[in-house]
């Protein structure tokens, strides 16, 4: 049996990176068409006028899209529902149109996902090793994936946050790489270094609790079912556990998501349509939450529960199942390499021993 914590077979950070990249690509390929159709349906509504933004998500990262004629989402055709939108987009614009906006999103989605998953794996392993060594208890307590998941997400989001602002400008204004430096100087001039982390607080407030709860639920679900290693490492079992964990985490953190979405769209509109010269202070999280509660009550903070679960659950399931499958692949690969190394060593010992006997 190949033990996950056996140093001889444990996968390397580079192999974890490869697994995370594979998961990010596959998740994006599956989830992007669903959200493209959703925002195309939103874009034809009268509420989406000029100088407004809407939010696009491919299952890994959110992406602000400006409305109007200059947007990358055309609005020539009227759609009569989801199925009709799928059909007309594929027929009139070509099948690749279902993956519109994928490339600019992956530019940040891949490094963010790699940092997130590799950090989690490394933190979880180190904390589990210290806990097992100091207590003599071979199990993994629930607080380890909670802390590791929250810390890993906080690290990934914080590191990528300054680049998100530049990416939004590049997508909305089609800036060339030579203009990136100018855009960055504009932000620093008017807002200072804090401008590079605009909206970070609301993102952390949503993503950090989500990640801590997600990994805790995922690891706990795997332990509750107590499957044999052959089934525990299977794609379908990890898909199921990821779906359960994603659904629970999405439900609990939905109010944070609603507030964060409102703030992100507001900041996006200010950034895209005012050239970075913010004329008024952006609404903080407390103001947004208070306004939502005042106008819509507690139900307003849970707006879009089913769409969020239907989006988050499969995205989490595909990502974690692919990631765990990649880890298992590399673990088996490392095991095979170790066996071959030991066999070569044994062959050398036998040859040496035989030569010594012949010499004597």
Q: What are the tokens at 58? A: 């491919």
Give the model's pLDDT for residue 156.
92
Q: Which neighbouring-strand residues pair with 66?
A: 53
Closest Cα partner for 205 from 152, 255, 265?
Answer: 255
Tokens 């208890």 identify what position?
A: 137
For 146-164, the pLDDT digits (tens) are: 999 999 999 998 988 877 6
For 6-51, the pLDDT digits (tens) are: 666 778 899 999 999 999 888 888 887 877 776 666 555 544 444 4
Q: Which domains does the chain have, with CATH numbers?
A: 13-354 (1.50.40.10)
User: Of the given ranges (133-147, 241-255, 317-331, 343-357), which has the lowest mean pLDDT?
Assistant: 343-357
Indicate the pLDDT class of residue 65, thresholds 50, 70 and 90: low
C-alpha 48, offset from chain centre: 27
Task: Give the separation between CA 350 and CA 360, rounded to whole angstroms.
Answer: 15
* Three-state SS letters, the chain: CCCCCCCCCCCCHHHHHHHHHHHHHHHHHHHHHHHHHHHHHHHCCCCCCCCCEEEEECCCCEEEEECCCCCCCCCCCCCCCHHHHHHHHHHHHCHHHHHCCHHHHHHHHHHHHHHHHHHHHHHHHHHHHHHHHHHCCCCCCCHHHHHHHHHHHHHHHHHHHHHHHHHHHHHHHCCCHHHHHHHHHHHHHHHCHHHHHCCHHHHHHHHHHHHHHHHHHHHHHHHHHCCCHHHHCCHHHHHHHHHHHHHHHHHHCHHHHHHHHHHHHHHHHHHHHCCCCCCCCCCCHHHHHHHHHHHHCHHHHHCCHHHHHHHHHHHHHHHHHHHHHHHHHHHHHHHHHHHHHHHHHHHHHHHHHHHHHHHC
Give the model's pLDDT for residue 237.
92
């Amino acid at each position: 049996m190949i033990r996950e914590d056996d140093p001889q077979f444990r996968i390397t950070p580079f192999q974890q990176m490869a697994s995370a990249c594979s998961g990010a690509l596959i998740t994006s390929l599956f989830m992007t068409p669903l959200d493209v159709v959703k925002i195309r349906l939103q874009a034809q509504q009268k509420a989406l006028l000029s100088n407004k933004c809407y939010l696009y998500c491919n299952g890994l990262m959110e992406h602000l899209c400006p409305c109007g004629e200059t947007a990358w989402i055309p609005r020539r055709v009227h759609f009569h529902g989801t199925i009709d939108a799928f059909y007309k987009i594929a027929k009139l614009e070509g099948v690749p149109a279902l993956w519109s906006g994928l490339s600019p999103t992956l530019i940040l989605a891949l490094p963010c996902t790699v940092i997130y998953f590799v950090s989690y794996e490394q933190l979880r392993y180190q904390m589990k090793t210290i806990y097992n060594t100091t207590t003599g208890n071979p199990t993994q307590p629930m607080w380890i994936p909670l802390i590791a998941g929250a810390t890993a997400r906080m690290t990934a989001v914080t590191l990528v946050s300054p680049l998100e602002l530049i990416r939004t400008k590049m997508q909305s204004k089609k800036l060339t790489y030579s203009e990136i430096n100018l855009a960055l100087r504009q932000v620093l001039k008017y807002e200072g270094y804090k401008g590079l982390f605009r909206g970070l607080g609301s993102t952390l407030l949503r993503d950090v609790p989500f990640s801590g709860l997600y990994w805790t639920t995922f690891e706990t679900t795997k332990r509750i079912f107590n499957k044999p290693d052959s089934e525990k490492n299977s794609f379908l079992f990890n898909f199921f556990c990821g779906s359960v964990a994603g659904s629970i985490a999405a439900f609990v953190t939905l109010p944070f998501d609603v507030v964060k979405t409102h703030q992100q769209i507001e900041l996006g509109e200010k950034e895209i349509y005012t050239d970075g010269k913010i004329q008024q202070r952006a609404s903080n999280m407390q103001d947004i939450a208070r306004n939502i509660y005042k106008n819509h009550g507690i139900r307003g903070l849970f707006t879009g529960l089913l769409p969020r679960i239907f989006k988050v659950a499969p995205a989490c399931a595909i990502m974690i199942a692919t990631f765990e499958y990649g880890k298992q692949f590399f673990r088996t690969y490392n095991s095979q390499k170790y066996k071959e190394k030991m066999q070569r060593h044994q062959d050398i010992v036998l040859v040496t021993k035989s030569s010594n006997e012949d010499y004597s």
